[in-house]
C-alpha cells in the first residue's frame, strides 16, 4: 500500500496551508502543530512532512523549535524542509530530531553541495525536493523559476545514489483538484530506483487509491485533511486495510 504522509506547513509556529504557494493566500488551521501530529500518530501514521514556510522564504530554518517538540513528543519519522541552504542548517535540522531533510533550492543553485550532502549523510536521509511550476523547477519558496526540468534535476544526483524525491506540482498545491497523475506516473517509470513522492492537489481517498494502483510509493496529503475531504477515520481504515 502507498505510504501516506500527512503535511504540516508552518508559518509563525502555526499550522497553515497556502494555495499555489502564494503566501498572501494563507489559511491557519491549528495554533499548535504538536496537537495535529499527535492525532496522526494515534491513528497509526508513521511519517510526517513538516515544511518551514518561513524558512523557505528567509533561506534559513525558522521553526526548529516546533520540529524538536514533535520529535521529542511523538514517535513519528519527521521529514523537514524549508531554508536548508548550508551545512549548519542541515545539521541543525538533524540535531532537532528530523529523520530526513528535504533539500530543494540548494540542489538547483549549488548542485555540488547537494551531491556532497548525499555522499556524507546518505540517500536515506537526504530527500530531493523537486517543485515544478510551468514545467520548470521553482526555488526559494516557489518564488523563482529555473530552466531545469524535473527529469534533469533528478538525473543530476543519480550518481550519488539519490533514492527519494518529493515532487510538487505548484499549480495543483492547495487547490483540491486532484494531482497531475500523468506527471507522477511518467516520473516513477523513468526512475524506477527512486521513490517518487506525490505532493500537491490530493482531494480525496480516490486520488490516493488511484496513485497506489499506478505504482506510486508515497503521497503527501495536507489541505484535503484540514478541509474534511479526507477524515482521520478514512486514513486509519486505509492504514489498517493496507
3-class SS of residue 80: strand
Which one of 54, 131, 169, 212 is the catalytic residue? 131
Count: domains in the chain: 1
The reported pLDDT for the residue numbered 170 is 83
Spatial separation of the C-alpha atoms in residues 213 and 93, rounded to whole Å = 34
Angle 205-214/181-190 helices, nearest 10 degrees? 30
The reported pLDDT for the residue numbered 198 is 96
Spatial separation of the C-alpha atoms in residues 73 and 16, rounded to whole Å = 21
Q: What is the CATH number of the domain that holds 131?
A: 3.20.20.70
Spatial separation of the C-alpha atoms in residues 154 and 131, rounded to whole Å = 11
Domain extent for 181: 3-241
Neighbours of 186 (CB within 10 A): 14
Spatial separation of the C-alpha atoms in residues 167 and 183, rounded to whole Å = 9
The reported pLDDT for the residue numbered 141 is 59
Cell representation of residue 40:
496522526
pLDDT by residue (tens digit) across 175-207? 678 999 999 999 999 999 999 999 989 999 999
Spatial separation of the C-alpha atoms in residues 142 and 56, rounded to whole Å = 8
Predicted TM-score of the model (pTM):
0.92
Q: Are 137 and 146 in contact (CB under 8 A)?
A: yes
Spatial separation of the C-alpha atoms in residues 72 and 47, rounded to whole Å = 14
Which one of 9, 54, 195, 207 is the catalytic residue? 9
Concerning whether 234 is annotated as a catalytic residue, the answer is no
Q: In the chain, what is the straight-line distance between the N-terminal and C-terminal CA atoms, in Å?
A: 5
Concerning whether 9 is annotated as a catalytic residue, the answer is yes
CA distances from 42 to 53, 137, 158, 188, 235 (A): 26, 36, 36, 31, 11
All residues at 6 or more sequence positions from 179 whose CB lies less than 8 Å from its CB, including other chains: 169, 172, 198, 200, 201, 202, 207, 211
Instruction: Average pLDDT across each block of 10 residues of the chain; the chain has 242 residues. List them in order.
Output: 95 86 80 95 98 92 98 98 96 98 93 97 97 79 77 96 94 77 94 96 95 97 92 94 76
The reported pLDDT for the residue numbered 191 is 97
The reported pLDDT for the residue numbered 27 is 85
The reported pLDDT for the residue numbered 140 is 66
Amino acid at each position: 500500500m502507498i505510504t501516506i504522509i500527512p503535511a504540516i506547513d508552518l508559518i509563525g509556529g502555526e499550522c497553515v496551508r497556502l494555495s499555489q504557494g502564494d503566501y498572501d493566500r494563507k489559511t491557519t488551521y491549528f495554533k499548535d502543530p504538536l496537537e495535529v501530529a499527535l492525532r496522526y500518530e494515534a491513528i497509526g501514521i508513521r511519517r510526517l512532512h513538516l515544511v518551514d514556510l518561513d524558512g523557505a522564504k528567509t533561506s534559513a530554518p525558522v521553526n526548529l523549535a516546533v520540529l524538536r517538540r514533535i520529535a521529542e513528543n511523538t514517535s513519528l519519522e519527521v521529514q523537514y524542509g524549508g531554508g536548508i541552504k548550508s551545512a549548519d542548517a542541515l545539521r541543525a535540522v538533524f540535531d532537532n530530531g528530523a529523520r530526513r531533510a528535504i533539500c530543494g533550492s540548494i540542489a538547483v543553485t549549488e548542485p555540488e553541495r547537494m551531491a556532497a550532502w548525499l555522499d556524507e549523510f546518505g540517500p536515506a536521509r537526504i530527500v530531493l525536493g523537486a517543485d515544478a511550476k510551468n514545467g520548470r523547477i521553482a526555488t526559494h519558496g516557489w518564488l523563482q523559476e529555473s530552466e531545469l526540468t524535473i527529469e534533469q534535476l533528478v538525473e543530476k544526483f543519480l550518481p550519488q545514489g539519490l533514492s527519494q524525491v518529493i515532487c510538487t506540482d505548484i499549480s495543483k498545491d492547495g487547490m483540491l483538484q486532484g494531482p497531475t497523475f500523468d506527471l507522477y506516473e511518467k516520473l516513477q517509470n523513468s526512475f524506477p530506483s527512486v521513490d517518487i513522492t506525490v505532493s500537491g492537489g490530493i482531494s480525496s481517498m480516490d486520488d490516493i487509491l488511484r496513485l497506489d494502483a499506478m505504482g506510486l510509493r508515497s503521497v503527501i496529503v495536507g489541505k484535503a485533511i484540514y478541509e474534511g475531504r479526507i477524515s482521520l477515520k478514512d486514513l486509519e481504515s486505509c492504514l489498517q486495510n493496507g
